[in-house]
Amino acid sequence: MKRARELSVGVERWPIRGGFTISRGSKREAVVVVATIRDGDRHGHGECVPYARYGESVEGVVQAIEACGPAIVQGLDRANLQALLPAAAARNALDCALWDLEAKRSGRSAAELAGLAPLHAVGTAFTISLASPEEMAARARDTASYPLLKLKLGGDGDEARLAAVREAVPKARLIADANEAWRAPNLERLLAAAKAAGVELIEQPLPAGDDALLEHIDRIVPLCADESAHDRASLATIAKRYDAVNIKLDKTGGLTEALATAAEARKLRLKIMVGCMVATSLAMAPALLLAQDADFVDLDGPLLLERDRVPGLAYSSGMVMPAPAALWG
């Protein structure tokens, strides 16, 4: 008798090397949820990161995934999953697990299933956590082997942070992420400081829902929507206020919607960043399909951890290699 498909869910905790700080706070571990779909001797895996900023909790995400168990047993596919769960972390884990399972069952790579060419290595940013100007400058010097650095900013003191990092690494490419910490009265001044430091892109300077002002200012540094952007439904408004969009699988609810979101973003002439939460290589691997022709890639999550999965992704001099088949896809 053929065994029915089975779903299991697990919660894992991965220590972060030295901690991770953004404008909203600090954390010392990455808490991830892993969905596994078993079909005979084949297993499909997907990882997500519940994010309180979007009203998610670990317990809630686990419950949302477990509630899909009967549908998984009955043969739930990716197309029907899109209607079953909203665009969020729980759907991401299941969507990526279904991609992985389909690849293993078909003997074809996930890239081939998505209609893509064989994957190639891509350059990724390395993130410098929010800290004092001196600490961020020192960290930037220590990571000089990465051509592209992403600076976490926090509002007050950002002008000094930008200047200190630029002085420390005069040749590095810089992007920055304010994580909604800037406010309208200091926006022009901080944009000028970013331009003076040679910053190429700034993510989410103003709070989501309070960013209409961006339609009417001179964006002297290109701006990228992150917290303001989730899936395709948000892009029409985003295109009026931003120059780029950060597409994360935990926001789009998986690779399926992420690929569609990227295609729509291109139609709207938005540049694309492919981003991540702090997580393991299992969460990064599906995003590499999206990153192949992205304008900016920020898939350094495993580099911020004390340890990663084995096998994991291989990183070298700012490049991340395609995932081994034993990891995903």
pLDDT per residue over 105-147, tens digit each? 999 999 999 999 999 999 999 999 999 999 999 999 999 889 9
Please confirm, yes or no, whether 240 is among the known catalytic residues.
Answer: no
Please confirm, yes or no, whether 152 is among the known catalytic residues.
Answer: yes
- Full-prediction pTM beyond 0.85? yes
Long-range contacts formed by 69-74: CB under 8 A, 24+ apart: 69/7, 72/5, 72/6, 72/7, 72/37, 73/4, 73/5, 73/6, 73/7
All domains of the chain in start order, with CATH: 6-107 (3.30.390.10), 122-320 (3.20.20.120)
Q: What is the pLDDT of residue 1?
A: 40
Q: Which residues contact 319 (CB under 8 A, 6 or more apart)?
A: 121, 122, 123, 124
pLDDT per residue over 41-51, tens digit each? 999 999 999 99
Q: Of the listed 2, 27, 240, 248, which one is catalytic?
A: 248
Token look-up 């699988």 returns 249
Q: Is 219 helix (H, G, I), strand (E, B) or coil?
A: coil
CB 136 within 8 A of CB 172: no
Q: Of the listed 104, 150, 152, 251, which one is catalytic?
A: 152
pLDDT range class, residue 60, cuts 50, 70, 90? very high
Pairing status of strand 25-39 against strand 315-316:
unpaired
